[in-house]
Amino acid sequence: MIKRILIFCLLCLFLNFCSLHHRRKPALVRNVNMDETLKISHDEMQKRNMSQSLGLWVIRDQVVTPPQAKMISELYLSKIDSMKSDFNIWHSSWAISNLYRFGDGAVKAELETAYQKAKKQPGRITKKGTRKLANRHVNGKQTVTGFIHAGGRSYAKRHLVVPGNKRYLQSYEDYRKTQVK
**pLDDT value of residue 170:** 98
- Max alpha carbon distance in the chain (Å)? 56
CA atoms within 13 A on the CB side of 126: 6
150-159 helix and 34-45 helix, angle to the nearest 10 degrees: 110
Q: 71-75, 110-114, 135-139, 148-152: which range is least confident on average?
A: 148-152
Complete DSSP assignment for 33-88: -HHHHHHHHHHHHT--SGGGTHHHHTTTTS---HHHHHHHHHHHHHHGGG---HHH
**The pLDDT of residue 17 is above 70:** no
CB 85 within 8 A of CB 52: yes
Lowest-pLDDT choice from 44-53, 98-107, 115-124: 44-53
What confidence score (pLDDT) does residue 13 get? 44
Predicted confidence at residue 5, as pLDDT, reads 58
DSSP 8-state secondary structure symbol assigned to residue 19? E
Residue spans of the domains in the chain: they are 19-179
